[in-house]
Amino acid sequence: MTNHQINQIEPKITKKDINSINTYLKKDNWITENKFTLEFENRFKKYTGSKYAVAFPNGTLTLLGILKSLNLKKNSKVIIPNITMVATATSVKLAGFNPIFADVEKKYLCMCPTDLEKKVKQKNVKAVIYVTLNGRSGNLEKIKKICKKYKIYLIEDSAHSIGSFLKNKHHGNFGIASSFSFSMPKIITTGQGGMIVTNSKKIYKKLKLIKNFGRAQAGNDDYISEGYNFKFTDIQAILGISQLEDITARVKKKKYIFNYYHKYLKKIKKINFLEFKKNETPWFIDIYVDDKNNLKSHLKKNNILTRDIYPPLNKLKFLSNEREKLPISKNYSDKGLWLPSSLNLSKKNLDYIINCIKEFYEN
């Protein structure tokens, strides 16, 4: 048994990150949102290939910001996948709209186009939030065609998708706007934080007002529209810039970790992996097993922490009164486990985890 606990996820903060923050703090800087936030936005939009980027305090408020920018009516409905982080749904509620849950596909666990097409015909459906779960594209292009057919907005929740591309286009460039997250578990982190990317100048201008109290400029009280204090901070931006400079190595390491697990565990018939395409980057390494709880307990006894994938959102009473059976969501949620996925994992760590999993199935 290893002497130290292997966490399911932890941030990777490098000496370069620390030096960047120390250098910044030693200068006479403003700390709040200023020129480095603008630089981070510019660098991020360049990385994703988007025309515009706007930094927000977190990935829940990015989704809220996008929904607010669309000027939807109060009784609007927004369709979201039934397996996603709860913030996808609560952002819809926070905006004053009603979430409708669509089942996911077996192959990717992203929103099922067939189920979407059934639900999109409901009265007052105005938008779809498509989650590229765990960095997988799923059937994003098919979803886009459905949204275009019914003249509804496509919003991307790309929280897991830094470093993932579909046909050489980075996730986040397929709908009206996209939400990215920089919370602690993400490939790059600013502690908390998020970014909206969009190719619409109109949406970009609305987002800039929404995040700054409805003011066109900071430092005055000339209010053009309703807005809020959703500003970022330069100290976070300094960390984000530093980590974004290392994004190629971070993406490469995530792919290495998935491929290493897959190589040594794929022969165990009781473990099911979902595929990643060459230009998709795993966020967490997910496996699907029938005896999840026993495997979790075995790994925990050996100082290895894991995490269940998200529960089906339509089963949460505070989100929905409907109890529609969405069988794929339930089945994969019951079986889904995220293995340790930190960028800090060494080959020694990975070998130990893999051997513990093999030991469980051999016994």
- Do 30 and 114 have their domain in common? yes
Residue type, 80: I
Residue type, 305: L
Reference 119, options 252, 290, 257, 314; nearest CA is 314
Q: Which residues of the chain have pLDDT under 70?
A: none
- Do 198 and 94 have their domain in common? yes
SS3 260: helix
Q: How far is CA 35 from the centre of its chain?
A: 26
Choose the final residue of a domain: 244, 277, 297: 244
Which domain does 330 fall in, by range?
247-362
- Is the Cβ–Cβ distance between 20 and 239 less than 8 Å? yes
Residue 165 domain flag: yes
Give the domain CATH number at 328. Answer: 3.90.1150.10
Choose the final residue of a domain: 244, 265, 286: 244
- Do 181 and 211 have their domain in common? yes
Reference 254, options 136, 128, 106; nearest CA is 136
Choose the final residue of a domain: 187, 212, 244: 244
Which pLDDT does position 236 carry in this prediction? 97
- Do 159 and 171 have their domain in common? yes
Residue 6 domain flag: no
- Is the Cβ–Cβ distance between 299 and 184 less than 8 Å? no
Residue 9 domain flag: no
- Do 315 and 344 have their domain in common? yes
- Is the Cβ–Cβ distance between 308 and 287 less than 8 Å? no
- Do 173 and 79 have their domain in common? yes
- Do 78 and 197 have their domain in common? yes
Which pLDDT does position 237 carry in this prediction? 97
Tokens describing residue 174: 């397929």
- Do 177 and 271 have their domain in common? no
Number of domains in the chain: 2
Q: How far is CA 21 from the centre of its chain?
A: 25
- Do 150 and 275 have their domain in common? no
Reference 182, options 164, 196, 203; nearest CA is 196
Which pLDDT does position 222 carry in this prediction? 85
Which pLDDT does position 217 carry in this prediction? 79
- Do 171 and 302 have their domain in common? no
Residue 321 domain flag: yes
- Do 230 and 81 have their domain in common? yes
SS3 131: strand
- Do 89 and 216 have their domain in common? yes
Give the domain CATH number at 212. Answer: 3.40.640.10
209-260: pLDDT as tens digits? 999 999 987 777 888 898 999 999 999 999 999 999 999 999 999 999 999 9
Q: Who contacts 85 (Cβ-Cβ below 8 Å, separation ≥6)?
A: 159, 310
Reference 227, options 77, 59, 56; nearest CA is 56
DSSP alpha helices (H): ranges in the chain?
A: 15-26, 35-48, 59-69, 86-94, 113-119, 140-149, 201-210, 234-244, 247-265, 292-301, 327-335, 347-362
